[in-house]
Structure formats: structure tokens, C-alpha cells
Structure 1
């Protein structure tokens, strides 16, 4: 029977060792801390790419050329993520989750610290931007193996009735890291002159991230291999490689990546394209825009926790559908409201939008992971997540700018594109059958 209609059976033949509550908590903390480092590094790089890197690394290209080159460097990581996803997830399915995640953590952290120590164009010449691109590519490789692996580490240490809460540990990392990055850069730019910030201030958060790296590495080193993977090593479950997963579950992978295309694609539209549109066509003060997004990120911490608990009660797919409905209500009126200049209503839309994305991310962890058997889980989850972020997340801001230009400045074209992604996600989620583990939490209550 096609994998479109038959859910994957995740349970191994060998009994799963009893799960330890203390180890469950440490695995959740390890997932949160390590993924927060990735989100923090990506957020910092994105903000610096728009403000500092054009002057420090690409000054010879002129103002517009330097900005384009800087944003192109930012996009290098998205191109590298699928490579890291394939490499690390294949190892994780064969050798275990723990050591892979310690490796990705150190790769990501050291690449970020080296960026903070990298001399600019004025010192190294053309070598400076080339090294920056290489380090950014390395960041992307590490990120490709990080998020899905961290989700699985937390999930497989948790009992069925708390899988949603375990998955929310990774969702928590996003708003925490985004808020941290925004606050750190806001503090530095407020306390330093423009010249000081460009000269050395921008390096501080990159180098200081070694503290977060050390903490996350210490936590992860104390996490044991997951009970489900240990049990699978003693079972007859096939130890298949990536090609076997693609052959056996092509329909599942397609439905999973399409099911998450709306949050993956719309998030950059709001946080990248949307910020520029709000401060230009919308006439909203940049500092006000900053406050709106910061408040949304802080409130999203609670939304992530709520998303995990809802997942445990109604199942992952139902939670994702509920989050998608809130996403539609928040996104569709956003840009028309920006045109009115009503800051309060715009702020409510932003809060609802960010909260809905984080709720969906909390549910996505178990929805993806338990669509595959244990020894195919890391690769299946990782390739689905990386693909949707590369295809939709990596192109949506550019697509929004192109549609706005094509429509002669009519932002309804951007809204229509986002609405189309929401419809596609809804169809894919409804087409993906609920597998037994998706409702285990609610069934046991």
C-alpha cells in the first residue's frame, strides 16, 4: 500500500527501555540550548548582514552592490542546510543521535566565534569576504543536522503522553534566541557610536556566543542515547540509508514538507520583507517596528509551551491545523492594515502570526518524527524540514518583493501568495493520515 495512506510504524520489536524523567528534562534542555545557539547565530548574522557587513566586508562593491553581496552571503547557509541534513541525519540514524548533535553544536558555535574574530576587507582584502562565505556555509551545514536531531533527541527521551511538550523545547528556542539577538544588538547600538559599532561592537555577540556554546555542550554531554534508538539496535528493524527512505516514503516526505510550507514561507515574508514594507510604505517608525516584533517574540515563549501541551491533548496534526487557522487570521489582514497606519492592529497581527508559527513548530516535531521508523526517523524528518525551508523559506522574501513590483506596488499580491501557501499546507495536512503515535498522548488521558 502507498505510503500516502499507510502510516509508518515506529515501534521496534525489542522493548524500549524505561524512560528516565531526569534524563527527559536534560534532553529537553539540551534541545533548547543547542537550537537556541543556532537561532541566535542566524538572527545575529541576518541583522549584521543588513547593517554592518556591507561596510566591513564588501566596501569595494559600492553601496547597493555591497548590500546585495551581504544578503547573498546570508543566503549561503540556506543552500548548505540540505547538505548538512543528508550527512548528519544519515549518521544519526545509523550511529545514534547524541554524538551527532554534539558535533553539529561545536561546528556551529566555532564558525560563529571565528566570524567575530575575522578581520575585514581593509585588513585581508578579498580573502575576508571569501572566508566569511566559507564560515557561513559551514554554519548552514551544521544547522542542517541540528533542528530535527534536537527534536528527536527530546522526543525519544519522553513518554508518549509528553511528546508534545518535548517537541516544544525546540520551538522555545526560536523566540528566546530572536529576543536575545534583538536585545543584544539594540543595547550595543544604543551604547556605542556608529563608528564604534562598525569598528568592533558588532563582534561582541558573535564572540560571546561561545558562552552559550559551552553551556549547551555541557548539557548535551550529559544526555544519554535515546531509549528508542537503543531498543532499535537490538531489534530486526532495517538499518537503511537515505536512498531507502526516499524510495519507501516519497509521498510522506512530500506531504510533510508541503504541510509546513505556510509557516516556513510566510515567516520571512513578515520578518524580512514585512519590516521593510512597514517602515517605508507603511510609514511606521523603525523603533516602533522593533518593539512590536520584540513583544511578539517574548509572548511567543508562552505560545511554544502552550503548543506542546495542546499537541499532547489533541494530537500533532490537529494542533498544526489549529495553528494554521490562526496564521491565516493574523497574516491575511496584516499588510492591508499596515497601509492604514494602525499600529495597534498591526501589532496584534504580528503577535498572532508569531505565536501561530511557534505553535506549529512545537507540533511539527512529533508530526514529522513519528511518520518514520526509528532507524529512518532522523533522515526522514530532517530532509522534509530542510526541503520546505530551502524551497519556501529561502525564496519567499524575494518572491514577495518580485510580486510587489509585478503588481505595481499593490501589496495584495503578496497577501495572495501567502494565502496560497496556507491553502497548500491545509490540503497537505488533511491528506496526511494521522498515525497512531499522533494521538497517543490524548488517548492515554
Structure 2
């Protein structure tokens, strides 16, 4: 029984119609696809200018025809009551409503019309099928957060049951918890792992310590899909070795759709069917393929709520190999609010600190995981989880490398914990800044 599809239909999401529409879009040749993009750009702007007073107030010039002149929306534009942002004919009763995680520092509630949300699931199902994974039949080992209130907890457990998945807690990453996970894998025919990168990496490290490859105890395992957090090359290699299956990188946003998904050729293929992804500079000029800039996305099918030239808050590069029909995300560099401002005025991507430290801090297996926080313009604290303190030698190496890569005169503090506290969602933010000038 196709319980997943049935649950979507019962909730008013027309998954069959959406799946057929997706197939028709994918069947277009390059010339027809270009015409499709131009048509959808025009249609979605015109629709919201005619039906959404909130968007009309943002656009200011309703006769604008040049796509590149259409204003860029930001998350802060959306931090007002949802009922003020909905299009005519839509209410909280006939849309899908959710909220962003707030990892960007600008959380808000959003809405999708039900056909748009069905298309989101059609795209996700299509991408997972590249690796012979089916939401109706494939059993998922899920490493995600879960609400701790009784109502939210049981709601998620019910959804898990309908979706053929078993949820492991990401709030307890102790060896004892992973021993329980391992026993569940031994007793269950899981087909794939899905969840937050950092917690799955910790499970792989646990398996490495025990010298166990997961596929040897769970032979039905086909793949591991990681999402929501950065995936580093050495972590990917570790997971593939310890799991014995391909590790697939997913990039998405709850308010939009699946944005990019690693294909079978190891390319991070961008969703061009329901989204239009652009890379812009600080002046909102479109950058050519191969250049780094802000990721700005348009949702073609959301009639309930406009996401048109929406700055998602991430920085990335589209590969020079990209085409309109098949854009390739070459690199996801981090969030725009993860930029560190240094005493000299120099700016550095927050992940720079993480890369530098990661190459030194994890080589002996003592440190399980860590995060970096900027508390002052010249002060950075490395908070790490380990059984014992970092050696003075390693501390000095890290400080020296920070100066080499960034600048001299920085204060680097170290703080050891038994376990790092995660956000309510269960995510681990690799770098964060408390500097107001950083937003």
C-alpha cells in the first residue's frame, strides 16, 4: 500500500497531478525549457502583482518588465503576520503552513498553496528515485530532531509511521545511544539513512571506533542522504567507508523546495523545474557561472505566498558547466550572516575558522565535534566535545594557523564540554557570531 502518497492526498496535496506535471517539464528540450522559464517568470510576477497586496507594496513599480530589475526579497521583509502576506483567496484554512528553522537568525512563518507543496514532494520523490529509493516502500533510518512536547512528539511519530521511517534522537550522541542505534540496524531492513550531517558523522565515527561497516550488519542499506548542515569531503569519505553505501548531499529550504540534490554522476544538480536559482553580487547584479555570490531563488508555483527573487541567505557558486535546464551547484560556501568581521575590517567566511580548526582538531579522534563562536570583534571561542582537554601543542597550532589564514592579534579561547548543546531542531551550527555588525 502506498501509504505516503495516500497521506498526501488525504491532506489535500494532489501528488499524482504534481508528478505528471513534473514529468512534462522534464521532457522539454532545451529550447522549450528556456521558453518555459521565461513564461513562468512572467506568470508568477503577474499573479502576485494582481492578487497579493503585500507583494505589490514591495515591487513599487507594477509595470516593470526587466527581470533583473525586479526587487530582491529578504527574510526580514517576511517578518510580519502571515495573513498580511497571503494572496487573495488563500487563508490559513486552505494552505500548507510551516515556519523556518531560524538558523539564519531571521525566522518566520510561511505558506504554500497545496499544489505547490505537492510539487515539492514530487521533486523530492523524483530525486530519491535516482538511487532506487521510494518513499512508499523504502525504509528510512531518520536522524532528525523531534518536538519534546507530547502533542508534537506523537504527531511526528505518526508521520514517521506513515512514511516508513524510524527516528533516532540527535540530542543524545553518546556511545550508549549509538549502541542502541546499531542494534536497531541489526534488527531492521533499513534501505537508507536520512538526516542532519553532523549527527550522522558522529555515528560513522562510532562505527569506525568499533571497526564495523554498517552494511555488514544491515545488508539492505543502499544510501545515506545528508541535509541541513555542511558536508565536508573528509566526513563524506568517512561515512562512505563506515556505511558501505554512497553518501548523497541534499540542499533545501522548507519555505521553498528541494534546491539541489547530488545526482548519480556526483554533481550537485539544482532544481530547475520548480525553482529559478540566481547568483547575485552585493548590488543585485547577476553573476556569470563560476563566480561566488548570494543565492537568490524564485518559486514558480507558490500562488499563496510570493517567493520571487528571494535571498535565502546563503553564498554559493554555480558551475561553469551549468545550463538553464541543468544548473550545477559547484559549492555552497555558507550563510551570509556567517561572515566574520575582523579587527582590521577584513571579512572572512565563518567556515574558514571551521576548516582551519577541523584539519587539526580531529586527527586523533579525541574531539567528537566542535563549534566556533565570535563573541567580540577580536575574540573567537572554540567549544568542543571530548573526553579530555586539547593538548597545549594543538592549541598553539590552531592559534598559529588562525593568524596565518586570517590576521594577527586575535584572541582564541577554548572550552571543553562532554556534549555540545544543539538547537531545538537538533542542528549543530558550525560557526556563529554575536556581533551586531555581522547581520
What is the TM-score when the length of structure 2 is the normalising length?
A: 0.28
Tell which structure's C-alpha radius of gyration is larger.
Answer: 2
More strand by share: 2
